[in-house]
Amino acid sequence: MVRIAASTIALITWASLAAAQGTQVAFGGMTQDTSAPVEVTADQLEVNQGDGTALYTGNVVIGQGDMRLAAPRVLVVYAEGQNGGQGRIQRMEARGGVTLVSGEEAAEAEQADYDIDAGTVVMTGNVLLTQGANALTSERMVVNLTDGTAQMAGRVQTVINQGGSGQDQN
């Protein structure tokens, strides 16, 4: 009985913390090296030398280290390089339903913006973060790839799976 009461108190505490307007959670269980090579695959590519962008469309999958991002459309913006040429990737803008996977965790949203210099991914629009059997939802999530955390905001809701019925299972 004491164990059930303690579990109930823990669940209420977790739920009230997650229901706050901003909740910080671990993401990916690791940090991400934002200087690691970026690999992009897609069905189509349009390059615009004038504004330093590349538009990938159709089954876009971006990999960097252990992180994977998938979306129907991703605009890659390059920083200006030496002598006005194209430099390294500055940011990526994913649209049309985005999935971000890092380690054992996955997040989905309507769109995501990856700022490589800042080491952040900002996901907006019906964000769903799954961590094992647990799920968190919000309207916005900012993932800090430097320290492996995420900040969720905009009516955060958490579902914590307590696992099992309380009886030993074989």
pLDDT tens-digit profile of 3-31? 333 333 333 333 333 444 456 666 655 46
pLDDT in the model for residue 34: 76
Report the DSSP beta bridge partners of residue 73: 57, 95
In the block, tokens 């490589």 appear at 116
Alpha-carbon distances of 24 from 131, 150, 159, rounded to whole Å: 13, 6, 15
Asked if 153 contacts 140 with a C-beta cutoff of 8 angstroms, the reply is yes
**What is the per-residue pLDDT across 71-118, written as a single tens digit (0 to 9) for each?**
999 999 998 765 555 678 999 999 999 999 987 889 999 999 999 889
pLDDT in the model for residue 96: 96
Question: Architecture of domain 2-159 in CATH?
Answer: Sandwich (2.60)
Where are the domains positioned within the chain? 2-159
Asked if 57 contacts 72 with a C-beta cutoff of 8 angstroms, the reply is yes
pLDDT in the model for residue 77: 94
